[in-house]
Amino acid sequence: MMTLIAQYAPTLAVANLLAYAGTSGHGAATRPLHRAERHKGDNTGFDMIEITDDNRVRTVTLMRPEAKNAMNSAMWDGLAEALIEAERAAGVAVVVITGSGDSFSAGQDVIEMGRMALGGPAERERVEGVHGFAGVASILIDFPKPLILAVNGIGVGFGATVLGLADLVFMSSTARLKCPFTMLGVTPELASSGSIPALIGRQNASWMLLSSEWITADECLEMGLAFKVCEPDELMATAMSHAQILAAKPISSMIASKRTIVEPIRAALHEAHARENGEFAALMGSPANIEAMTAFAEKRPPDFDGID
C-alpha cells in the first residue's frame, strides 16, 4: 500500500490541493509581510509562516498557496512556534491568522497523512515533528490572548475546525468550509467535537462534522460560527479594524477577560481533544481509511460498502 501512495504522490498532491474542493474559492489578495528577524533563512515551517506586526496586532499568514496552505509537519511546528512567540511577546495584544492565495487552509497534508496511516508508529513519530498537530491543538486551546481568524478562502479539516477555537471569525463571502473526516474514514479533531457544538448547537455541529459536506460563509454566519462575512477585498481591513480596537485595550485586561470566558470550558476542550486523538489514531490505517486514501490516489469516490 505504501508503494501505491508513493506511486500516486503527484496525484495525491493535486488531490490535496483541491482537498475535496471540487472548485476553488476566491480569497482576498495577499499583502506583503515581513518575516521576524530570527525566522530569516530558517529552513523550517517558518519558511511557510509569515509574520507582521502592526500597532500591537500580529498577523500570522499561512504561506503555502501552491498547496492551498495544507499543513505538513514543518508548518505545524512553524505555526506552534509563531503562537508561542506571540504569547510571550509583550508588545503583541492580538493575533490574526489568515491564509495566502485563494485558500485559508486545506488542512492536513494528505501525503503525510498517508505515510502516517501506512508507515507504523516509527513513521508517525518521524513525520509528526516537534510540536505536530497535537501541539498546535493544545496551544490554541490555551492561547491566552485574543485570537482572530480572517478566513479568506476554502477551509478544510483544520482550516474549518480551528474556527471553534477562535475568539472572532471573519469570513470572505466566497469562503467555504468542509470537515471531510468521515469521508477519510477518521474522526473530527482539534477539540471540534466540543467547541463546534458549543458554538452552533448539536444538530448544526452534527451535520458539519459528520456529513463531509461544504458549509458556506453565510451558513456559518447564520449558525454563529462566524462573527462577520465580508466581501473578499474588505476582509483583511475589517478583521484588522476590529483587531485594532481590541489591541488598544490593556493586554492584562484582555488576557484576564478572555480567561473568564474560556476557563469554564477549557478542561472540556482538552478532554474532547484527547478523546478525538484516541479515536483518530484507532482509525488511521483501518480498512475504511485505507479505502479512502486509495480512492484519493485513484481519483475516484471511496466505496465503503462492506468495509465496516
pLDDT in tens, 10-36: 333 333 433 333 333 333 323 333 333
Residue 100 located in a structural domain: yes
271 lies in a domain? Answer: yes
Question: Which domain does 36 fall in, by range?
Answer: 2-296
- Looking at residue 69, which CATH number applies to its domain? 3.90.226.10
Q: How many CB atoms lie within 10 A of CB 18?
A: 14
| Structural domains of the chain, count | 1
In a domain, 34, yes or no: yes
21-25, 151-155, 248-252: range with lowest mean pLDDT:
21-25
Distance of CA 28 to the CA centre of its chain: 18
Half-sphere exposure of 106 (CA within 13 A, CB side): 30
Element (H, E) at 154: strand 154-156
Residues 197 and 212: their CA atoms lie apart, in Å, by 16
In a domain, 10, yes or no: yes
Q: Does residue 102 lie within any of the structural domains? A: yes
Please say if the pLDDT value at position 119 is more than 90.
no
Provide the residue type at 49 as one letter.
I
Q: Please report the pLDDT score of residue 126 as a whole number.
A: 61
> 145 in a domain, yes or no?
yes
DSSP 110: H
Residue 305 located in a structural domain:
no
Residue 107 lies inside a defined structural domain of this protein: yes
Average pLDDT value over all residues in the chain: 84
Tell me the whole-structure pTM to 2 decimals. Answer: 0.83
